[in-house]
Amino acid sequence: MKIRVGVIGLSDGNGHPYSWSAIINGYSPADMAQCGFPVIPKYLAEQKWPDSRIPDAQVTHIWTQSPELSALVARASLIPNVAAVPEAMLGEIDALLLARDDAENHFNFAKSFIEAGIPVYIDKPIALSLEALDRLYSCQQYEGQIFTCSALRYAHEFAIDDLLRQKIGTIRHIEAITPKSWEKYAVHIIDPVLRILGPKTIANISSTAFADTGRAVQVRFTDQTTAGFTAMGDNLVSPVAIRIHGEKGWHDMVFSDSFYAFRCALQDFLDGIRTKSCKSPLALNQKIVSIIEAGMAI
């Protein structure tokens, strides 16, 4: 059965309502060219359509803060219905993409859908504090209903196979860097690094600020493995990159393929709905948010 998906958007600088909807529905090249995010039509044009669409799902409804903006997203991403208010989607959809990265507004947008039992994918970062995270989860009706991640968790550039692990040896330190603000972009390096490291317990977190808006956070785990996370802020340029240091060598990884990562994240969310499984454990999200919160506290 096809999963009917609703989308809530759009926050400043975040084109996910366009791109996520297009990955599920396909898109209109002429209308997508007007989206205001040139990278989106560029990487969509590099795919093979309709083969690149996620099957057995359709974005059927869109709401944004502006009817005109909602209409543009709908045309660009082939969404048949524009909702007058978010709650108008209740009863019409099977799942919700909360495609806004203004974490301070996530609870207000998500609450009625979570309480109604709708599976909700909450855009990164889900929260900026453990208190805000717990408030969202207090509404959850069943385990796995809330899904969140940085799509870079699924990036093929950040994948580590057994051969590479053998080459670099036991991992002792990881250094990760991202452009832009700690508030919105740190999760893009924290999430994939924790995936690489696997289950570990945090022993200590320390933070420093630099270059006006930059943030650097150091994490030490109980097994003495360490990780450094740096968001360069608004005035410095960098890739999204990870360097792994092992006992036998090191390895550099640089992110580039947004479409692949977004598609995998959306597919995992939808697979969790079909299999009734938890794809986004609370314990992992607590660990991620605790590191984000440490950087916010400077």
Backbone angles phi, psi at 70, to 5 degrees: -60, -40
Amino acid residing at 37:
F
What SS3 class is residue 258? helix
pLDDT value of position 234: 85
Residue 292 lies in a domain: no
CB 288 within 8 A of CB 198: no
pLDDT tens per residue, range 5-56: 999 999 999 999 999 999 999 999 999 999 999 999 999 999 999 999 999 9
Q: Which domain holds residue 62?
A: 3-152+260-281
pLDDT value of position 1: 83
Residue 105 lies in a domain: yes
pLDDT tens per residue, range 131-181: 999 999 999 999 999 999 999 999 999 999 999 999 999 999 999 999 999
19: its two tokens: 């791109």
> Do residue 134 and residue 31 come from a single domain?
yes
d(CA 236, CA 210): 11
18 phi-psi bin (left φ>0, alpha ψ -120 to 50, beta other): alpha
> Do residue 22 and residue 128 come from a single domain?
yes
pLDDT tens per residue, range 90-134: 999 999 999 999 999 999 999 999 999 999 999 999 999 999 999
Residue 230, CB half-sphere, CA atoms under 13 Å: how many? 15
> Do residue 160 and residue 143 come from a single domain?
no
d(CA 160, CA 135): 34
pLDDT tens per residue, range 219-261: 999 999 999 999 999 888 899 999 999 999 999 999 999 999 9
pLDDT value of position 109: 98
> Do residue 31 and residue 137 come from a single domain?
yes
pLDDT value of position 242: 98
